[in-house]
Chain A
Amino acid sequence: MSTLTFGRAINAGLRRAMDNDPKVILMGEDIGKLGGVFRITDGLQKDFGAHRVLDTPLAEAGIMGTAVGMAYRGYRPVVEIQFDGFIYPAFDQIVCQVAKIHYRTQGAVKMPITIRVPFGGGIGSPEHHSESPEAYFTHTSGLRVISPSNPQDAYTMIQQAISSDDPVLYFEPKRRYHVKGEVDEGSDPAASSMEKARVVTEGSDVTLVTYGPLVPTARDAAVAAGDDGVSVEVIDLRSLAPIDFETVEASVRKTGRLVITHEAAQSGGLGAEIAASITERCFYHLEHAPVRVTGFDIPYPYSKLEFHHLPDLDRILDGVDRVLGRPNSLSGLER
């Protein structure tokens, strides 16, 4: 075991994947000498060469489209999108090509492309640097979408993403890059599945589902709720498409109450999908309608207001109160 930051854990995972398979190549802006604006690829170009760690021109569609061509040629490209809000120029290539070529060619052409996206807010950035665009991709068939929440998962899941024959979007909670944790660098990524949700904290009163940057916040909320006599079970989804509904369902059958929290905007977001799916699966086990605690339906706000937008411990606890029918911020409103 070694203690690594989240960012170094991704770096270590990339390094191991590149060691294991010469077809793994990295592509992106500033990922070479600089090591990326977040230094996630630090040292990799030096060690593996400029032919395996490619600094690309500043064109996201170009990066994604050439990654597709590389995949045709037998490579396993790992693409870095510098910031969440910069992914949109590549959207067409991701949605129309990366996601669909396997289907289009009836399985003849695989697209083992990993798309790394630093995402989410909380770092005081200007516009386009704090977005949570995951639902655009979870709504696109042919893609797999995952988001690690801790260094061990970051290390393991980047390797699992790279070894997947399907394209994977790997959303990195950038405000957690400096969080430290124990990482077993000898662990075998093939021994587990990146699509299995994890119960972070067991509880019996409320199921609190989240992923990525809000997992530590949800865990803190569970501790605070526990101090107040409420037992909260926190689930880290890890995979956003597909979602491991079996794990969520098993928890909700036990607790009867579901709260979902994410930074992304509410309407049409993952919370809606989770609420609908769980309601379909175990309606008669629910004691209350599922509750969503999410970002607002607004463009990501300027940084002095971002902590109004981002769900925090208190807003999550307010959601827990709502799902328990206890006094809460919406008490008295007809809902």
Chain B
Amino acid sequence: MALKNIESVPGGPGEPGSGLIQLITADGVRVPEPAYDALVADIDGAALQGLYEDMVVVRRIDSEATALQRQGELALWPPLLGQEAAQIGSGRALRSDDFVFSSYRENAVAYCRGVDLTDILRVWRGNASSGWDPFAINMATPQVIIGAQTLHATGYAMGVLNDGDDAVAVTYFGDGATSQGDVNEAMVFAASFQAPVIFFCQNNHWAISEPVGLQAHVPIANRAPGFGIPSVRVDGNDVLACLAVTRQALARARSGGGPTFIEAVTYRMGPHTTADDPTRYRDANELEDWAAKDPLKRLEAHLDSRGLFDEAFTAAVKAKADAVAAELRAGCLGMPEPAPSDVFKHVYSTPNSWLDRQQDHYERYLSSFADSASSDGSS
């Protein structure tokens, strides 16, 4: 059976009538979008430069982490290459008291939340099940079960409603996740309770080797209205447009307007993870096409056209990225090794007789080696 590619799906990106919100074209031209311009009226040249710096930095985090994996310092790394605009644009729209429930590829969102860089790597180095205290940055640690986090976000948002608060829960997931029951159930619950939650779907066109056409025969954003949730398709490689649509959704949620579904149409330019080999399943031409729509290049072109891309600026950005990369590497290499008994920690919040016994027996087992080592005088 032949599968449709999203490009042949009605309303695919770039097609007339696609409804794709775009504020900066792939060539870096700012185009008017009356419904959204006011939402980013405050984004002046300096703010745009800030968004650019963020994207450069997270791309650098990505390449540094990939290098660390190649050098054997990380077991695995899921690159976000190509998705910087979707994550920075949305991530920078959030308030600190909003709460993010993401998948494992949202390292740029974590960066926006102020994560300690070392914490991003903890799980991929195998030193912890996850990297950070979710309440420290109001972002749950990466979810590996595809789509499961959308329900957590929805429940969190239901709690916000109960509290009479105006914080918003934002959940990130991919095109593949939209096939999961959890995501569909999350939309049912979000609509039923009018929960202040944003479903931010990064349609990066690939779920490991499966093209988005295997997940959906209509633009993914078209599904949400069937649940009673307004949706928007945005050019996911346009950081300004992503910022605008996220701000719109946040305003709706804060004012009691309930959930919004955002489909950010972007592209996973790298592999699924460092263990993946996309040459086995995708056409090199496709990558080339999307490289022409690179989120960083278009902002470079735009800034340049406004005289905001001089040498002093680029040098400062490079210095920042270098510093972040150095911090990341140092944090990775300096990470303390876990103690053997840590394997038993935090399974329960209070003592558990079964586990306590196993821990006791394992500690006796381990100490039996120490005894034999000292008794025969060897080290």
Contact = CB atoms under 8 A, between A and B. Distances in A.
A75 B151 contact: no
A89 B148 CA distance: 13
Given A72-B99, A93-B151, A109-B135, A66 B189 contact: yes
Interface residues of B, number: 44
Contacts of B151: 61-62, 64-66, 68-69, 93
B349 A72 contact: no
Contacts of A62: 151, 182, 185-186, 188-189
Given A107-B346, A108-B135, A109-B135, A244 B155 contact: no
A244 to B, nearest CB: 7
A137 B287 CA distance: 45
Interface string A90-134: 001100110010111111111000000000000000000000000
B349 A110 contact: yes
B58 interface: no
B353 interface: yes
A328 interface: no
B346 A75 contact: no
Contacts of B352: 144, 242
A245 B357 CA distance: 11
Contacts of A165: 349-350
Nearest to B169: A69
A66 B141 contact: no
A65 B150 CA distance: 8
Given A68-B151, A70-B159, A102 B345 contact: no
Contacts of A242: 352-355
B148 A72 contact: no
A103 B169 CA distance: 23
A243 B160 CA distance: 37
Interface in A236-287: 241-246
A102 B162 CA distance: 24
B2 interface: no
Contacts of B44: none
Nearest to A25: B162
A57 B130 contact: no
Interface in A176-205: 195
Contacts of A97: 145, 148, 152
For the complex of A and B, the 5 pairs showing the least CB-CB separation, nearest first, are A69-B155, A65-B151, A73-B159, A66-B155, A62-B185
Contacts of A72: 99, 134, 140, 152, 155-156, 159
B133 A61 contact: no
B155 A70 contact: yes
Interface of B: 99, 101, 128-130, 133-136, 140-141, 145, 148, 150-160, 162-163, 169, 181-182, 185-186, 188-189, 192, 345-350, 352-355
B127 to A, nearest CB: 11
A37 interface: no
Given A57-B185, A75-B159, A93-B148, A244 B346 contact: no
B159 A106 contact: no
Given A73-B160, A109-B135, A59 B99 contact: no
Given A108-B133, A109-B135, A69 B350 contact: no
Tier of interface size on chain A: 35 or more
A32 interface: no
27 contacts: A25-B162, A57-B189, A62-B185, A64-B151, A65-B154, A66-B152, A66-B186, A69-B151, A69-B155, A69-B157, A69-B158, A70-B159, A72-B99, A73-B163, A93-B148, A96-B148, A104-B130, A105-B346, A106-B128, A106-B130, A108-B134, A109-B135, A141-B347, A144-B352, A165-B349, A195-B353, A246-B353
A51 interface: yes
A115 to B, nearest CB: 14
Nearest to A112: B349
Contacts of A245: 353
A106 B319 CA distance: 34
A35 interface: no
A138 to B, nearest CB: 10
A103 B349 CA distance: 9
Nearest to B145: A96
Given A96-B145, A105-B129, A105-B134, 16 more contacts: A57-B192, A59-B181, A59-B188, A65-B155, A65-B186, A66-B154, A89-B181, A92-B148, A96-B148, A97-B148, A100-B129, A106-B345, A108-B134, A144-B352, A165-B350, A166-B348
Contacts of A57: 185, 188-189, 192
